[in-house]
Amino acid sequence: MSGSTLAQVMRRLPAMTKHSEQQFVEFMFQSADLKGMPKQHSAYMVATSFAINEILVFLRLTLLTANSLKVAKGDDERLAGFAFLQDQILMRSLSARAVEYLKLAKDHRTVCERAKDTAGLAFFETYSTVLDGLWDDPVTAVAITIRNKLTGHVELTRIRDTISGIPEDRRETGIYLHQKDGNSIYLMGEDIAHIGAFESSEEIQAWSDWVLNTCRAIQSLHHAYMIWAIETFFPEKIGQEIRLHPDSELVGTFNDGIPVLWDFPYKTD
């Protein structure tokens, strides 16, 4: 084998495939565990876990596409527009899930009140100022409108109103068609349906800041609830420390970005 034995090649493989070590604390639950909890808390424990998963996935993607945007800005104005479109799509998805989580927490607190669940109410009382502040924030109303009229449903009436209000001197917008459909970009949709509904760049920034700040608060609330639930309902459970070794390609860094365009084989008939 060109001067190398199979054993020598095999010894080199671990160095060729880079892995990082990631440490976790693992808690495992049986169905009987959940069925033994008060129903309001078993449902919320599953629901908050489901909701936070979506938030964390979109948060990772949002942070990565922000890096792509920084790179694209120094390249070409049109490429910067492509990256900005992707950034805003992910930010809207994250915004919608933040709204859903706030509503979920609010609804669960109401369920605890109806069930006269003093322990659950005591937990949420600790975070009531934060939760009420987030829900009453004027930008939350903006996020709810975006969720209801653009992300969850595309409302034509709102878009017609946005088009009617576009100033005559507003910069032009366009579409970019590519022979590979996956690379076609329709900036017109983003520029008008989403960006055009804001009155200023400051409003867009305020909404973006709300999304990230709210997600940070939600993460803190979720983690606190999970610790409280385990200590309250499963005091005998002991977390097991485990170490996983994912391939380095599965572990991102704050310098990573995500692609704006694809590069893959294309066949014509």
Which amino acid makes up residue 88? Q
pTM: 0.85
pLDDT single digits (tens) 152-193: 999 999 999 999 998 887 778 999 999 887 889 999 999 999
CA 107, 108, 113 angle in degrees (round to 5)? 100
pLDDT bin (cut points 50, 70, 90) of residue 8 is very low
Q: Where are the alpha helices (DSSP H) in 115-240?
A: 118-126, 128-136, 138-146, 156-164, 187-189, 201-233
pLDDT single digits (tens) 191-200: 999 999 998 9
